[in-house]
């Protein structure tokens, strides 16, 4: 009886050791990714997206264990529970870096739309090249190319009315984001429209 108890205890301890081991590996992997991403990016929107990928990429190899122990599907679960759970492991591995990233994200969230850029001017050209691109000439004579890629806040029915904006004065809020362009096989920064109104 003592032997079977000892064997059971050893099995439980080794299973717990494995459990702790994979959590530490997720935390360490995410921390290394955080350091790399932080060094390469300063734009808060890009940084936030890439940090999310760090967490997913670190946890993905252990999807089976996460499903078994926590009933979380790392690839399908879009709730914040996965992020919160993984965050506790990351916090143990690189607390200073993790807290800095959280602080940066909170500041970015607090700024909200105020971090958007703005331009007022006349729509001189509307280009359709995969996306709709507005060419806007400001009062200073500078040309700004703005890409309609995501949902836009506007009082207009944009899908129907955007061709009518040619030669009209508009005010546009936008942000810069990095996207992968298959045509040049590289990333490039685009001005992405978030809000548009006629003047």
Q: Which two tokens stand for residue 103?
A: 């602080």
Percent of the chain with pLDDT over 90: 24
pTM > 0.85: yes or no? no
String of DSSP letters for 19-79? HHHHHHHHHHHHHHHHHHHHHH---HHHHHHHHHHHHHHHHGGGHHHHHHHH---TTT--S
18 and 45 housed in the same domain:
yes
- pLDDT of amino acid 132: 93
- pLDDT of amino acid 3: 44
Q: Structural domain tally of the chain?
A: 2
Mean pLDDT, all residues of the chain: 78
Q: Which residues contact 149 (CB under 8 A, 6 or more apart)?
A: 131, 179, 190, 192, 193
8 Å CB contact between 192 and 177:
yes
86 and 175 housed in the same domain:
no
177 and 120 housed in the same domain:
yes
Closest CA to 104 of 43, 145, 162: 43
pLDDT per position as a tens digit, 74-112: 766 655 566 677 777 887 888 887 777 666 666 655 554
Instruction: Answer with the one of 55, 84, 113 that is the final residue of a domain.
Output: 113
Q: Which residue has the higher pLDDT, 105 or 73?
A: 73
Q: Which residue has the higher pLDDT, 172 or 5?
A: 172
pLDDT, mean of residues 19-33: 83
Distance between CA atoms of residues 59 and 57, nearest Å: 6
Adjacent-strand bridge partners of 191? 176
Query: pLDDT category, 195, cuts 50, 70, 90?
Result: very high
Residue 9 has pLDDT above 60, yes or no: no
pLDDT, mean of residues 20-35: 85
Instruction: Answer with the one of 71, 87, 113 that is the final residue of a domain.
Output: 113
Distance between CA atoms of residues 62 and 45, nearest Å: 27
């Amino acid at each position: 009886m003592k032997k079977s108890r000892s064997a059971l205890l050893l099995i439980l301890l080794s299973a717990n050791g494995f459990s702790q081991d994979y959590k530490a590996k997720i935390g360490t992997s995410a921390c290394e990714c955080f350091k790399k991403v932080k060094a390469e990016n300063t734009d808060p929107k890009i940084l936030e997206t890439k940090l999310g990928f760090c967490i997913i990429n670190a946890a993905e190899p252990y999807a089976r264990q996460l499903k078994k122990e926590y009933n979380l599907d790392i690839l399908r679960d879009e709730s914040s529970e996965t992020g919160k759970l993984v965050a506790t492991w990351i916090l143990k591995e690189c607390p200073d870096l993790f807290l800095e990233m959280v602080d940066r994200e909170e500041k970015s969230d607090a700024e909200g739309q105020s971090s958007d850029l703005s331009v007022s001017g006349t729509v001189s050209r509307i280009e359709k090249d995969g996306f709709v691109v507005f060419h806007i000439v400001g009062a200073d004579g500078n040309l700004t190319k703005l890409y309609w890629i995501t949902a836009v806040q506007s009082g207009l029915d944009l899908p129907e009315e955007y061709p009518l904006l040619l030669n009209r004065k508009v005010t546009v809020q936008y942000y810069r984001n990095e996207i992968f362009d298959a045509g040049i096989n590289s990333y490039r920064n685009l001005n992405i429209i978030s809000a548009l109104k006629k003047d």
